[in-house]
Amino acid sequence: MGYSRRCFVRLSLGSSLVDYRKNLYLDSCDREMKMLRPANNCSFVRAPVLWLTLVVTMLLVPDWVRGQRCLAQVRLDSMLAVDPDVRALYEEGREQVVTYLSQSRLPAREIAVIPVVFHIVYAEDDQNISREQVLSQIAVLNSDFRGLAANVGVVSAHFKSLIADAGIEFCLADTDPDGAPTEGIVRRQTDVPQIGLKYSFDNRRRIYHTELGGDDIWDPAHYLNVYVCEMGNNVFGEASFPNLGPADEDGVVMDYRSFGTIGSARAPTDKGKTLVHEIGHYLGLKHIWGNSQGCDSDDGIADTPDQEKPTSGCPSESRVSCGSFDLFYDYMDYSDDACLAVFTPQQVEYMRAVLTMLRPDLANGSSVCADTKKGIDFVDFIQLQGNPSYGQVYLEAQDSPIFKATVDILDVPGHHLMPAWQVFFPGKYPLPVETLAPGMYFVRLTAGNKQRIFKLIVTR
């Protein structure tokens, strides 16, 4: 069955199943089909496999997909349902990861540094986010993938032992695929609204292709490509699972309102956790509740408790489903950003195995963070805000290179009052002054071989 002469209608394989009335997109007619019916002056004609996709997807995807904030799992499940070759490739990849993890002794693990290129594709000025907003997101990625989330204190005592360090860090790429210097941020203006959800007549995602109004991907074997754009329909992000899909569409797509911690970021997705979640998918993790609601579905990770359904909001009390407490602090749940602070040890091992087996050239390549090689006195960028303390005190460095620092708090005689911890800048981090009695203290910061000491006054 051929295509119509006047226009082409593309059925997304689960990628835009936010609302079934809106999962068909018209490109040649340059507007969105609002119902599953022919539009004016357009013929709804498509190859039989797409009709099969529609039927299968409608049967497989439950009602709660409407309003879905992440489309990665929905797209994956739809692709696996209609294409045996895709399913075979996916299962082959998972088997490689499982086999690797079954080794009695895994190789020693070094810090994996992943170069990132951010493609800012904007139709309106407010979508053209600032470099500072990009850096605020990088800081969250580095903190959260090292088990050092700024909001880690929200995690209940029952689950604190599950907070794991993935040993993964991120940097802005300093070299493009042609070997030229870069800041790791590419900007492209488009005339396509909600381009993060749009497809061309020949089944390509427009965001990934310059000729379709997006921006061409950088070599996905060596760069993590993150697209920041308008998505809409209450979709916050989507990621490609490893070992699936075309290489020129292997990345992460983010809505500009759910990205970073400043600028266009809007509550409840204004703390940078959506990209942490999507990179979890990019590195092979499923949603914590599995493929569907109910206690018969599972994410395949042994140390995440079974969970009946996704969490909404930020629960103030423990929740129980499937016979155990729900881990609604896990990044692979749908809790508000304020609640998300946990990758478990086995989620970490799975992501590291995916890096080794399915994305082997991504980390620790030739494109690294340029700023780490310049010998900058990083601690000079840090300021202590809110001092003297009548409430919260912050360490802050917003307009700075990407770097990490160690923080410890001492009393006047020089005794350590709590274990030292690491933070990643640029960013803004609260100090736990609520545990300190009124008086004078010292905050010591160490970055590289440089130190800086602030005097801290705590009052009540």
> Catalytic: 278?
yes
Measured distance CA(244)–CA(314) in Å, rounded:
33
Alpha-carbon Rg of the chain, whole angstroms? 23
Both tokens of 98, joined, read 């499982």
Cα 116 from Cα 223, distance rounded (Å): 6
**Burial annotation 134-173 (CB, 10 A radius, 16+ → b, else e):** bbbbbbbbbbbbbbbbbbbeebeeebeebbbebbbbbbbb
Residue 397: alpha-carbon gap to chain centroid: 22
Nearest to 287 by CA among 272, 273, 304: 304
* CA distances to 31, 198, 394 from 6, in Å: 13, 19, 59
Identify any residues that bridge with 407 across adjacent strands, giving them in sequence order. 421, 445
Q: What is the SS3 assignment for 347?
A: helix
Distance CA 126, CA 40 (A): 33
Half-sphere exposure (CA, 13 Å, Cβ side) for 59? 8
Q: Are 146 and 424 in contact (CB under 8 A)?
A: yes
Site of tokens 């266009």: 264
Residue count of the chain, please give it. 460
Q: Which of 4, 41, 20, 73 is nearest to 288 (CA)?
A: 73
Q: Token pair 């539009």 is at which residue?
A: 39
Query: Token pair 């089944």 is at which residue?
Result: 203
**Active-site pick, 32, 169, 230, 278:** 278
Q: Report the Cα 363 to chain-centroid distance in Å.
A: 17
Distance CA 259, CA 272 (A): 6
**Cα–Cα nearest to 395, from 429, 440, 357:** 429
Does the N-terminal peptide bond of residue 268 adopt cis geometry, omega within 30 degrees of 0? yes
Q: Which residue has the tokens 């303390």?
A: 389
Cis? peptide before 419, omega within 30° of 0: no
Contact between 30 and 24 under an 8 Å Cβ cutoff? The reply is no
Contact 228, 187 (CB under 8 A): no
Structure tokens at 112: 């994996």
Catalytic residue list? 278
